[in-house]
Structure 1
């Protein structure tokens, strides 16, 4: 049974997915990545992000010089593929909600990729939680405060871990400082995949 750790209100379900479930989830993501290939978004300042990404669902998350936002189409013009049922099952099991997410953001972290401290606040209603699934290499996850600055805490997220961000923790800053490249055998070429499910509307 998965162990649950609470870090500043974030529920971290360690080893939520066993090896077989992780492999099945990677298999379910392959058609999504084929239909909507990974791309490298730009920040508002014109700098390429180190993380490559794509999405599934009604919306995809996007960033360029115009800012951060949700979009109904991939940068190449096609619509986003449906969220795999395997992902929706995790969402329902962990959140207990019948309402399904509008977006499953898929981030790929290569050897030197990171994600700076940020808030998930592009959604219409912050009472809905955010669900995160880690696959592949370990990632050093850092949690801060609702306001920028102050003391932070970190924990290593491993393949199969699931994080639920809701309630008072919903708007806390969080990020990934680095990964332990090739710490997992799930992805043959190494790297980390993070799935983030959000209710947008």
Structure 2
């Protein structure tokens, strides 16, 4: 158990994911989460560095982020009732990995297959500070958010309620 989070954080099992998908619980510290929330409306150079660091952390490959330069970020806010149906991130012209960061309330993240919105899929509780990356054979996997768990945001993350999801992508549109 990471002592930074103390004994009050329950152990969450690491799911068995398909090739190209990576889950890194507690990747962001509370201080880092607060910093990101405070910069909610910006997309400066620090986001590129964050994306590269996330890719290295998820894959364990120190060179994984060398050529990764996200040029777009989606920042979604989810309140207690928000949902997002199963979908593929297929508007980009690039097959570079998608990096997803969670801040605030825990959500039920449904990560599926590349062929259909239906089963098989896995449900993963993404908590504040968690990192999820999908690329390679999993890049076109269907995924969605069927549920938000209100009141689960850790004190000090920068949000009193709700969830922010930051998704970084390489669009392939700049060249």
TM above 0.5, yes or no, is: yes
**Aligned match of 1:139:** 107
**Structure 1's 144 and 5: CA in aligned 2 closer, same or farther, altered over 3 A?**
closer
The Cα shift of 1:82 comes to 3.0
**Aligned match of 2:123:** 154
The answer to whether the aligner puts 1:26 opposite 2:37 as a matched pair is yes
Normalising by structure 1, what TM-score? 0.68
Distance between the aligned counterparts of 1:183 and 1:14, measured in 2? 15
**Structure 1's 192 and 84: CA in aligned 2 closer, same or farther, altered over 3 A?**
farther
Structure 1 segment 1-201 matched on structure 2, within 5 A:
6-9=16-19, 10-29=21-40, 32=41, 81-83=42-44, 85=46, 87-95=47-55, 96-98=64-66, 99-126=68-95, 128-148=96-116, 149-184=118-153, 185=155, 186-201=157-172
Given that 2:102 and 2:130 are in contact with CA atoms closer than 8 Å, whether structure 1 keeps it comes out as: yes
Deviations 1:175-201 (A, max 9, x none): 111111121133544100000001001
Q: Alignment RMSD, CA only? A: 2.1
Residue ranges of structure 2 left out of the alignment (5+ in a row): 5-12, 56-63
Distance between the aligned counterparts of 1:114 and 1:195, measured in 2? 15
Deviations 1:29-51 (A, max 9, x none): 2xx1xxxxxxxxxxxxxxxxxxx
Normalising by structure 2, what TM-score? 0.77
Distance between the aligned counterparts of 2:136 and 2:159, measured in 1? 37
- Give secondary structure in 2 for the equivalent of 1:26: helix
Distance between the aligned counterparts of 2:127 and 2:26, measured in 1? 8
**Structure 1's 110 and 11: CA in aligned 2 closer, same or farther, altered over 3 A?**
same
Q: Larger % of strand: which?
A: 1
- Give secondary structure in 2 for the equivalent of 1:7: coil
Larger displacement relative to structure 2 (13-22 or 180-189) = 180-189
